[in-house]
């Protein structure tokens, strides 16, 4: 049996605030993906999916149909969607199933995430001392990176400006009002150097993908996109991560470097082959750092590249063409699959006003989250 895996169906809901439950959003995304592939739910032979706070994915069969298929719940923080995708890929490659669904969804309350230290292997005092505040961590991490590599606050503002500009072109995005770099800089300091409009917000949304073998794809309506690789990695010793109580001296390791390198090796491609990409942008500094960690530039080169417009839709390396997390918000379970959905649309030439010129052929996605986990994919048409 061929080990190739194709994405033949992709569906998503609008992201943001919603009166609809997370489960209802998930069902809507699944139905959209099935319609895109031109198949019924009964054709799906296995499913993997999850959310952080909106319920158990396997219970979606109550609405989708009681067909008896194996449906495995996945919960892996920000890499939930990516982990579901890897599981779906392995199900096809192993011969377990020829048509598999991956779904991610969530619905978070207003305000910042409020994780419990005990869930992350930390003592309660870690939270009472204020160290579970993720905005503080991201501020400290990018502050150090800016010091070491000559990145300025304006570069962080330009990342957010691009995100809101691209979000305005994305019908399903949450933040659809363009903002200038000056407005971003003046939006109020949250954790130096990160201002209010440099951050994404927790929200609601769902994404589903239908994956299949080449043999099964021949009977489907959707325009197939090849999933060349999908990799998930956890942190190694020496990483500087969310909720890490300490870091060792010397050169730091990076889970994003490890995951992206694994994805490129499996695909037989490199960063220079990528025409469009999605990088985790929990806040502006994350996108800056991940450009280098995923191999698209050297540390410090971001200052010039971003100022030149290289990461814009018409640039040499379009990044987060749908506005990323900053414009879409972050429903944890759905974010990684939203990235894949966007690249699928770009490779199909169906991205509308945000379509990258000259029809990109190869795309890349990267998601990163606490306490040091990353999932990456390489796709091609």
Q: Is the pLDDT of residue 266 over 90?
A: yes
What's the confidence (pLDDT) of residue 246?
80
Q: List, in sequence order, every beta strand (DSSP E) within 13-120.
A: 46-50, 71-73, 99-107
- When pLDDT is cut at 50, 70 and 90, the band that residue 198 belongs to is very high
- Convert 27-63 to b/e letters by CB count within 10 Å (16 or more is b): bbbbebbbebbebebebbbbbbbbbbebbebbebeee
Rounded-to-integer distance, Cα 124 and Cα 339, Å: 34
The residue-averaged pLDDT of 55-76 equals 96
Let me know: does 243 contact 120? Beta carbons within 8 Å.
yes
What's the confidence (pLDDT) of residue 1?
39
What's the confidence (pLDDT) of residue 90?
95
Instruction: Tell whether omega for the bond before 238 is within 30 degrees of 0, i.e. cis.
Output: no
Which position has the token pair 């509308």?
352
Residue 209 sits at the vertex; the CA angle it makes with 207 and 212, to the nearest 5 degrees, is 175
Rounded-to-integer distance, Cα 291 and Cα 319, Å: 9
What's the confidence (pLDDT) of residue 14?
97
What's the confidence (pLDDT) of residue 91?
97
Let me know: does 370 contact 134? Beta carbons within 8 Å.
yes
- When pLDDT is cut at 50, 70 and 90, the band that residue 111 belongs to is confident
State what percent of residues in the chain have pLDDT above 90. 84
Rounded-to-integer distance, Cα 39 and Cα 222, Å: 9
Structure letter (DSSP) for residue 78: B
Instruction: Tell whether omega for the bond before 371 is within 30 degrees of 0, i.e. cis.
Output: yes
10 Å Cβ neighbour count for 124? 10
Which pair of tokens denotes residue 151?
A: 């990145």
**Structural domains in the chain plus CATH codes:** 5-110+200-380 (3.40.47.10)
- When pLDDT is cut at 50, 70 and 90, the band that residue 116 belongs to is confident
Q: Is the pLDDT of residue 126 over 90?
A: no
The residue-averaged pLDDT of 11-33 equals 96
10 Å Cβ neighbour count for 219? 13
Which position has the token pair 């054709």?
43
The residue-averaged pLDDT of 243-256 equals 87
- When pLDDT is cut at 50, 70 and 90, the band that residue 2 belongs to is very low
The residue-averaged pLDDT of 61-84 equals 94
The residue-averaged pLDDT of 270-280 equals 98
3-state secondary structure of 280: coil
Q: Is the pLDDT of residue 24 over 70?
A: yes
Round the average pLDDT of the chain to a whole number and report it.
94
The runs of H, that is alpha helices, within 67-176 are: 80-93, 124-128, 134-149, 153-167
What's the confidence (pLDDT) of residue 105?
97
pLDDT in tens, 330-368: 999 999 999 999 999 999 999 999 999 999 999 999 999
pLDDT in tens, 141-182: 999 999 999 999 999 999 999 999 999 999 999 999 999 999
Q: Is the pLDDT of residue 51 over 80?
A: yes
What's the confidence (pLDDT) of residue 244?
81
Let me know: does 47 contact 69? Beta carbons within 8 Å.
yes
Q: Is the pLDDT of residue 202 over 50?
A: yes
Q: Is the pLDDT of residue 114 over 80?
A: no
Backbone angles phi, psi at 195, to 5 degrees: -95, 175
CB within 8 Å of 162: residues ≥ 6 apart: 306, 311, 312, 319, 320
* Three-state secondary structure readout of 198-252: HECCECEEEEEEEEECHHHHCCCCCCCEEEEEEEEEECCCCECCCCCCCCCCCCC
């Amino acid at each position: 049996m061929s080990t190739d895996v194709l994405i033949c169906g992709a569906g998503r809901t609008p992201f943001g605030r919603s009166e609809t439950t997370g489960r209802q959003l998930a069902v809507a995304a699944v139905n959209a993906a099935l319609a895109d592939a031109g198949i019924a739910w009964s054709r799906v032979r296995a499913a993997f999916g999850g959310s952080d706070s909106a319920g158990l994915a396997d219970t979606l069969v109550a609405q989708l149909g009681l067909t008896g298929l194996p449906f495995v719940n996945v919960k892996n923080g920000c890499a939930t969607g990516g982990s579901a995708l890897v599981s779906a890929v392995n199900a096809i490659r192993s011969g377990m199933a020829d048509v598999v669904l991956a779904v991610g969804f969530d619905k978070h309350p207003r305000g910042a995430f409020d994780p419990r230290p005990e869930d992350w292997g930390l003592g309660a005092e870690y939270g009472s001392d204020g160290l579970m505040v993720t905005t503080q961590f991201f501020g400290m991490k990018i502050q150090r990176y800016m010091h070491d590599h000559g990145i300025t606050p304006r570069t962080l503002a330009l990342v957010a400006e691009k995100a809101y500009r691209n979000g305005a072109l994305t019908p399903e995005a949450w933040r659809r009002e363009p903002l200038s770099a000056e407005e971003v800089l003046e939006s109020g300091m949250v954790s130096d150097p990160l201002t209010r409009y440099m951050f994404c917000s927790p929200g609601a949304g769902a994404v589903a993908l239908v994956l299949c073998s080449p043999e099964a794809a021949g009977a489907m309506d959707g325009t197939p996109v090849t999933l060349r690789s999908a990799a998930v990695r956890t942190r190694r010793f020496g990483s500087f991560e969310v909720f890490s109580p300490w870091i060792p001296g010397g050169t730091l390791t990076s889970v994003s470097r490890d995951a992206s390198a694994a994805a490129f090796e499996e695909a037989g491609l490199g960063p220079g082959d990528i025409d469009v990409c999605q990088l985790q942008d929990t806040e502006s500094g994350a996108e800056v750092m991940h450009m280098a960690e995923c191999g698209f530039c050297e540390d410090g080169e971001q200052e010039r590249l971003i100022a030149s417009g290289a990461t814009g839709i018409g640039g040499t390396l379009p990044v987060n063409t749908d506005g990323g997390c900053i414009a879409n918000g972050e429903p944890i379970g759905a974010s990684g699959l939203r990235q894949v959905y966007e690249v699928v649309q770009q490779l199909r030439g169906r991205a509308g006003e945000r379509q990258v010129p000259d029809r990109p052929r190869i795309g890349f996605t990267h998601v990163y989250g606490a306490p040091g986990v990353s999932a990456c994919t390489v796709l091609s048409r």
